[in-house]
Structure 1
Amino acid sequence: MLTETQIANGRSAIKTALWQGIKAEIPITIGVIPFGMIYGVLGLSAGLTPPQAQAMSSIVFAGSAQFLGAQLIGVGTPLPILWLTTFIVNLRHVLYSTALGPDIQHLSRKWRWLLAYLLTDEAYAATAVHYGNRQIPLAHKHYFWLGAGFTLWGVWQVSTAVGILLGTQVPPEWGLDFTLALTFIGIVVPTLKDRPNTMAALTAGLVAVLTFNWPYKLGLMVATLTGIAVGVWLENRKRSISADFAD
């Protein structure tokens, strides 16, 4: 049986980990707020009702998928194509879960499902660093993840609501669809730091332009897969060349 001191120490460790996760995520949320607001406006311009737009942020909780999903809904895309396209966009989460999964196998299924729901790009960025510190005991690390994830979740819900409120005041004839392109440009450009990433982005952009008139925005899916294929091929080629020089 645990003593009162052990129980108190455990509660203190939980509170510390939770607060550390919140503090680590707060600076990141500053950059998330504008995207949440833009999504709220775009959701309405795509034909979603305010409750539907807000529900997408609560249920889907994935910015890039929400932006793309809203656009596809706006053009009447069939559900199977909508699901497949957003699934491909979110495949990166498989890599995130692969990286962090081994460290949460000791948790219950309910905990793993909750943490999986909260695993976004921004939450992963903070949580991966925390889990990478092997000097910190594993027992309460998931509370850091919980704090980081819920902090981002709360900010995303509020910023979406503000965007929806603003969107109801914007005349439809203003046409705010251009903000979608600006948003993704802002996300992609800072990541273009090497040849594989740059060529993947350029290839995907070129294919997207060439397939612009394809029905149901299928060109976006083809562009995404082509960009991924080019990026992976160039990354493997770079590693192969590096290995040859090392030999």
Structure 2
Amino acid sequence: MQTDAALAQPRSPRNRIHGEVWRGLAASIPVMIGFIPFALVLGAQATQKGLSAIEVPLMTGLNFGGGSEFAAVELWTSPPHVLLIVAITFLVNSRHLLMGATLAPLLRHLPKRKAFPALFFMCDESWAMGLSDSRQRAAAGHGHPFSLPYYLGVSAGLYLTWVVFTMIGALIGPMISDIEAYGFDMAFPAVFLVLLSGMWKGVKQAIPWLVSLIAAALSYLLMPGGWYVAIGALSGLLAAYVWVSKS
């Protein structure tokens, strides 16, 4: 049995790191569970567009951006319109530029060999959880509020869940047949609407959303292909810029 004095001794650096990793992994479990249905749907949709069970986890593992992957699969044809898919992926993932800029001050004390991998594994959820934990640690008086081991624990759980279950979705996709018949294709739009509701700040601030919606809808009706995604995104950005300039 350990004595009180032994229990009072500080943990070694290695034990502290392991503890932070497990703390991040445990904190990410609810989000990991939420990832599973979307990953299954994406994998099943991708196989129906012609991707193999090997190509799907390669895509999700190298890109790790759910929104852009859903958009890419939606636009996938044979042969694929590579430039269009690349452009849409960039537009959808461009929010990561702002997210990375928010994390940059917290990563300045880290060497680049650690900071760059941390940014690669950044997604909406790991970014939000890492930032929230940093604020709590800063309030508690930590000298370096950003806990890289905690963030990596969060990111590892989310990354592995996403890649593994998109592959499983690709494997079982042919057994499910037409996933739209079960309404699974509505999963991602439903979550997107929930995210929008959380960002609602009034009718005036929603004007760029409305402009983007109208532009995307008209483009979808009048133009072939998937250009409605790019036109909707760009028109929304332009409307937001004009609106801010006038304010």
TM-score normalised by structure 2 residue count = 0.83
- Which SS does the other structure have where 1:150 is aligned? helix
Residue deviations 1:59-89 (CA, integer Å, cap 9, x gap): 1111001101112223644212211111011
1:231 Cα deviation from its structure 2 partner: 3.8
1:187 equivalent in structure 2 = 192
- Which SS does the other structure have where 1:211 is aligned? helix
CA distance change for structure 1 residues 182 and 141 in 2, over 3 Å: closer, same or farther? closer
8 Å Cα contact 2:38/2:187 also seen in 1: no
- Which SS does the other structure have where 1:74 is aligned? coil
Structure 1 residue 228 corresponds to structure 2 residue 237: yes
Q: Percent identity between the aligned chains? A: 22
1:54 equivalent in structure 2 = 57
Residue deviations 1:95-149 (CA, integer Å, cap 9, x gap): 1110111111222222122111110011111101012231234287111111110
Mark the runs of 5 or more structure 2 residues left unpaired by the alignment.
Answer: 1-8
1:103 equivalent in structure 2 = 106
Structure 2 CA distance for aligned equivalents of residues 185 and 114 of structure 1: 31
Mark the runs of 5 or more structure 1 residues left unpaired by the alignment.
Answer: 1-5, 241-247
1:92 equivalent in structure 2 = 95
- Which SS does the other structure have where 1:50 is aligned? coil
8 Å Cα contact 2:134/2:146 also seen in 1: no
Amino acid at match of 2:90: F
Greater Cα offset, 36-45 or 155-164: 155-164
Of 154, 176, 190, the match for 2:160: 154
The correspondence of residues 1-247 of structure 1 with structure 2, limited to 5 A, is 9-74=12-77, 76-133=79-136, 134=138, 135-138=141-144, 141-171=147-177, 179-192=184-197, 193-194=200-201, 195=203, 198-212=206-220, 213-234=222-243, 240=247
- Which SS does the other structure have where 1:136 is aligned? coil
Greater Cα offset, 175-184 or 138-147: 175-184
Structure 1 CA distance for aligned equivalents of residues 132 and 192 of structure 2: 21
Structure 2 CA distance for aligned equivalents of residues 188 and 209 of structure 1: 16
| Count of matched residue positions in the alignment of Structure 1 and Structure 2 | 232
Amino acid at match of 1:228: L
1:3 equivalent in structure 2 = none
1:196 Cα deviation from its structure 2 partner: 5.5
Structure 2 CA distance for aligned equivalents of residues 179 and 200 of structure 1: 28
CA distance change for structure 1 residues 231 and 28 in 2, over 3 Å: closer, same or farther? farther
8 Å Cα contact 2:44/2:173 also seen in 1: yes
- Which SS does the other structure have where 1:49 is aligned? coil
8 Å Cα contact 2:135/2:145 also seen in 1: no
Structure 2 CA distance for aligned equivalents of residues 11 and 233 of structure 1: 52
1:228 Cα deviation from its structure 2 partner: 2.8
Amino acid at match of 1:229: L
RMSD of aligned Cα (Å):
2.6
- Which SS does the other structure have where 1:58 is aligned? helix
